[in-house]
């Protein structure tokens, strides 16, 4: 395979870029009345309008040609069929098997993984039902009212944003809260609101060796015993999700209370596994299964649709265009739905931990840009905060706007008005970003204001909006478990496609290891198990300052 930057499609895209930079989307819409229709599609309950992007038909053709030159269809097949595409860790990448409701086997190392997947799902279902119908009770016979889910990174963010986004589906009798940070004030705050009699702790850690999770679980266990419960009561109140069952047992978990997960599930792709147990507990197993089925629908679309009609591929290739040819360094996610406010943080982890790399699969340094900075916030709040920069800075920032057409509370007074306003802000912003406002328009508006000519020129310059800022608009009928599953799978596949184009391993995360390692050494220094002399002068001084003050 040719080097990415030497492929025919790449070279052709390099030629298009200066031309497209001189074109304005205003004119693209004027010259092509069918643009919105042409550049939009439905898939798995989601509607994507990508017409407000700085692309011509030629650019799109070249982007799909680039995907073909990088053998994308074969790479999609390789992932779904259990090849060990996570080469640096020698692992397959089979999160799609966790939501495979096709009835077809998924082979890995000569064995169908589906019986094991279904068995774990059944265990999640049975446990959820036992909590909900109160057959599993606390050590004093009280029903479980609260779940504290302990985990971090991929073992936390997915379940947290899903339960937040699907709040209207919540099982009323059960409160599920999440603790991730090793900062003790979080677990202390949470425990202060718990009663040992009716609280269940779910400890989620694929490796069962993550410092934050182990420490938070130890604190939770110590608190539980300090409330008057005995060691024998722990089994009723502590369960774990892990692929390292031996370590979980060593930690003190009863083996029957451990929900297994396979080695071929990456942390940030694991909410579909038993890591999703807090989702099932919070929303009910049926909603969890509906989430998986929605994701499966997107998986089918991703595998079957031609590249030019394939939603994850379209979004990924547009991202490649902006990152590699139009100078974009970041990508903003803007959910116009309060319950989906956690989605930018979720995609931030998914995308930046997957593609925040600069080494190819063969271990060579890349000679092109890779994963962008992902950021964002909920509309309309963000409009009154960072939108100024998107509208008027000279940095190109592609944006994704997300919006549910229906929301579950429209029967309440005034709610339709709220939702109409939300829609108008969402669509209005994409319009403003695209069309901008010319100097001439701004200047004209200042006529008869009593300003001098010079003042009018200056003020008009400040008010001018360049426009030409690209955006995708993703609309779904309502945010239910199925559409949320499809939405998350859409972004997973977008990230995968970009990793394929950039020749990255999107499924390892070596970059986080050094910090963990040095952090452990510094802890040894702080707690007197290691001499500080080996550390650099700055770190030594920081440790000394901390030790003196504490
Ligand atoms: O589930 P574990 O093993 O506790 O890991 C938590 C998280 O830590 C990471 O390994 C990196 O920080 C993530 O990829 C992972 O989701």
Strand partners, 175: 146
Q: From the alpha carbon of 155, which atom of ligand 1 is closest?
A: 1
Q: From the alpha carbon of 213, which atom of ligand 1 is closest?
A: 4
pTM for the model stands at 0.97
Could you tell me if 341 and 483 lie in one domain?
yes
Which residue out of 509, 514, 516, 517 has the highest number of ligand 1 atoms within 8 Å of its CB and is therefore the one to mutate? 509
Residue 124 lies in a domain: yes
Percent helix, strand, coil in the chain, to 5, is: 55, 15, 30
Could you tell me if 168 and 281 lie in one domain?
yes
Could you tell me if 199 and 343 lie in one domain?
no
Largest CA distance in the chain: 84
List the pLDDT tens digit at each of the 550 positions of the chain. Answer: 779 999 999 999 999 999 999 999 999 999 999 999 999 999 999 999 999 999 999 999 999 999 999 999 999 999 999 999 999 999 999 999 999 999 999 999 999 999 999 999 999 999 999 999 999 999 999 999 999 999 999 999 999 999 999 999 999 899 999 999 999 999 999 999 999 999 999 999 999 999 999 999 999 999 999 999 999 999 999 999 999 999 999 888 889 999 999 999 999 999 999 999 999 999 999 999 999 999 999 999 999 999 999 999 999 999 999 999 999 999 999 999 999 999 999 999 999 999 999 999 999 999 999 999 999 999 999 999 999 999 999 999 999 999 999 988 767 778 889 999 999 999 999 999 999 999 999 999 999 999 999 999 999 999 999 999 999 999 999 999 999 999 999 999 999 999 999 999 999 999 999 999 999 999 999 999 999 999 999 999 999 999 999 8
Could you tell me if 128 and 268 lie in one domain?
yes
Could you tell me if 336 and 480 lie in one domain?
yes
Is the shortest distance between the CB of 395 and ligand 1 below 6 Å? no
Residue 246 has what pLDDT?
A: 93
- Residue 380: is the preceding peptide bond cis (ω within 30°)? yes
Is the shortest distance between the CB of 480 and ligand 1 below 6 Å? no
Is the shortest distance between the CB of 268 and ligand 1 below 6 Å? yes
Could you tell me if 261 and 335 lie in one domain?
no
Q: From the alpha carbon of 275, which atom of ligand 1 is closest?
A: 1
Residue 406 lies in a domain: yes
Cα distance between residue 333 and residue 347, in whole Å = 8
Residue 59 lies in a domain: yes
Q: In what order do the strands lie in the sheet with 330-335?
A: 40-43, 46-49, 471-478, 399-406, 330-335, 373-376
Is the shortest distance between the CB of 372 and ligand 1 below 6 Å? no
Residue 521 has what pLDDT?
A: 97
Residue 116 has what pLDDT?
A: 97
Residue 202 has what pLDDT?
A: 98
ipTM rounded to 2 decimals: 0.98
Cα of 349 from ligand 1 centre, angstroms:
11
Residue 90 lies in a domain: no
Q: Are strands 199-204 and 238-242 parallel, antiparallel or unpaired?
A: parallel
Q: Give the long-range contacts of residues 18-26, CB within 8 A, separation 24 or more.
A: 20/54, 20/55, 20/56, 20/59, 20/326, 21/326, 23/54, 23/56, 24/467, 24/468, 25/52, 25/53, 25/54, 25/434, 25/435, 25/467, 25/468, 25/470, 26/434, 26/435, 26/436, 26/467, 26/468
Q: Which of 236, 256, 289 is the last residue of a domain?
A: 289
Cα of 363 from ligand 1 centre, angstroms:
23
Could you tell me if 284 and 310 lie in one domain?
no
Cβ neighbors of 188 (< 8 A, separation 6 or more) are none
Q: What is the CATH number of the domain that holds 253?
A: 3.40.50.10490
- Give Rg (Cα) of the chain: 26
Residue 192 lies in a domain: yes
50, 318 Cβ separation under 8 angstroms = yes
Is the shortest distance between the CB of 284 and ligand 1 below 6 Å? no
Is the shortest distance between the CB of 512 and ligand 1 below 6 Å? yes
Residue 407 has what pLDDT?
A: 87
Is the shortest distance between the CB of 152 and ligand 1 below 6 Å? yes
Q: Which of 289, 323, 346 is the last residue of a domain?
A: 289
Could you tell me if 181 and 240 lie in one domain?
yes
Q: In what order do the strands lie in the sheet with 146-150?
A: 175-179, 146-150, 199-204, 238-242, 258-260
Residue 56 has what pLDDT?
A: 97
Residue 440 lies in a domain: no
Residue 504 has what pLDDT?
A: 98
Cα distance between residue 482 and residue 169, in whole Å = 12
Cα of 494 from ligand 1 centre, angstroms:
21
Q: What CA dihedral angle connects 264, 265, 268 and 269, to 10 degrees?
A: 120
Cα of 514 from ligand 1 centre, angstroms:
14
Could you tell me if 212 and 324 lie in one domain?
no
Q: Which of 231, 256, 289 is the last residue of a domain?
A: 289
Cα distance between residue 228 and residue 224, in whole Å = 7
Could you tell me if 500 and 544 lie in one domain?
no
Nearest CA to ligand 1 atom 10: 267
Cα of 161 from ligand 1 centre, angstroms:
17
Which residue out of 181, 205, 208, 210 has the highest number of ligand 1 atoms within 8 Å of its CB and is therefore the one to mutate? 210
Task: Domain of residue 157: give its range.
Answer: 107-289
* Residues identified as active-site: 353, 384, 516
Nearest CA to ligand 1 atom 14: 267
Could you tell me if 121 and 210 lie in one domain?
yes
Residue 328 lies in a domain: yes
Residue 464 lies in a domain: no
Burial code of 274-305, b = ≥16 C-beta within 10 A, e = fewer? bbbbbbbbbbbbebbbbbbbbbbbbbebbeeb
What is the number of domains present in the chain? 3
């Amino acid at each position: 395979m040719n080097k990415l930057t030497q492929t025919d499609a790449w070279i052709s895209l390099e030629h298009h870029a200066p031309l497209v930079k001189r074109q304005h989307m205003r004119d693209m819409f004027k010259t092509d009345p069918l643009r919105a229709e042409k550049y939009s599609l439905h898939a798995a309950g989601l509607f994507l309008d990508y017409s407000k992007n700085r692309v011509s038909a030629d650019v799109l053709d070249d982007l799909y040609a680039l995907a073909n030159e990088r053998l994308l269809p074969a790479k999609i097949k390789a992932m779904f069929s259990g090849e060990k595409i996570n080469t640096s860790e020698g692992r397959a990448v089979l999160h799609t098997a966790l939501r495979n409701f096709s009835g077809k086997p998924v082979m890995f190392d000569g064995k169908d993984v589906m019986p094991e997947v279904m068995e774990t799902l059944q265990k999640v279902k049975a446990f959820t039902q036992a909590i909900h119908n109160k057959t599993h009770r606390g050590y004093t016979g009280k029903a479980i009212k609260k779940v504290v889910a302990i985990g971090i990174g991929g073992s936390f963010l997915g379940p947290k944003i899903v339960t937040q986004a699907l709040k209207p589906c919540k099982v009323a009798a059960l409160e599920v809260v999440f603790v991730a940070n090793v900062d003790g004030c979080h677990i202390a705050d949470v425990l202060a609101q718990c009663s040992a009699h009716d609280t269940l702790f779910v400890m989620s850690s694929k490796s069962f060796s993550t410092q934050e999770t182990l420490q938070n679980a130890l604190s939770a266990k110590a608190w539980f015993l300090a409330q008057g419960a005995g060691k024998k009561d722990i089994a009723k109140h502590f369960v774990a999700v892990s692929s390292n069952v031996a370590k979980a047992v060593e930690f003190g978990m009863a083996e029957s209370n451990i929900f297994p997960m396979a080695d071929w599930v990456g942390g940030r792709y694991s909410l579909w596994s038993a890591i999703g147990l807090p989702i099932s507990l919070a929303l009910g197993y049926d909603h969890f299964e509906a989430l998986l089925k929605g994701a499966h629908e997107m998986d089918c679309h991703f595998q079957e649709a031609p590249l030019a009609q394939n939603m994850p591929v379209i979004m990924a290739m547009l991202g490649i265009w902006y990152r590699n040819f139009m100078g974009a360094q970041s990508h903003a996610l803007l959910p116009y739905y309060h319950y989906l406010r956690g989605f930018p943080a979720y995609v931030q982890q998914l995308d930046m931990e997957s593609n925040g790399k600069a080494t190819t699969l063969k271990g060579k340094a890349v000679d092109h840009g890779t994963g962008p900075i992902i950021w964002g916030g909920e509309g309309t709040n963000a409009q009154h905060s960072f939108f100024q920069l998107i509208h008027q800075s000279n940095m190109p920032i592609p944006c994704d706007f997300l919006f549910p057409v229906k929301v579950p509370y429209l029967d309440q007074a005034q709610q339709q008005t709220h939702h109409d306003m939300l829609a108008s802000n969402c669509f209005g912003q994409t319009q403003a970003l695209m069309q901008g406002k010319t100097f001439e328009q701004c200047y004209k508006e200042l006529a008869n204001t009593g300003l001098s000519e010079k003042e009018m020129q200056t003020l008009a310059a400040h008010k001018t909006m360049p426009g030409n800022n690209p955006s995708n608009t993703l609309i779904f009928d309502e945010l239910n478990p199925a559409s949320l599953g499809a939405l998350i799978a859409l972004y997973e596949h977008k990230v995968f496609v970009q990793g394929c184009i950039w020749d990255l391993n999107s499924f390892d995360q070596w970059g986080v290891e050094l910090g963990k390692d040095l952090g452990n050494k510094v802890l040894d220094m702080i707690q007197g198990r290691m001499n500080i002399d080996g550390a650099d002068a700055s770190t030594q001084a920081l440790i000394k300052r901390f030790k003196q003050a504490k």
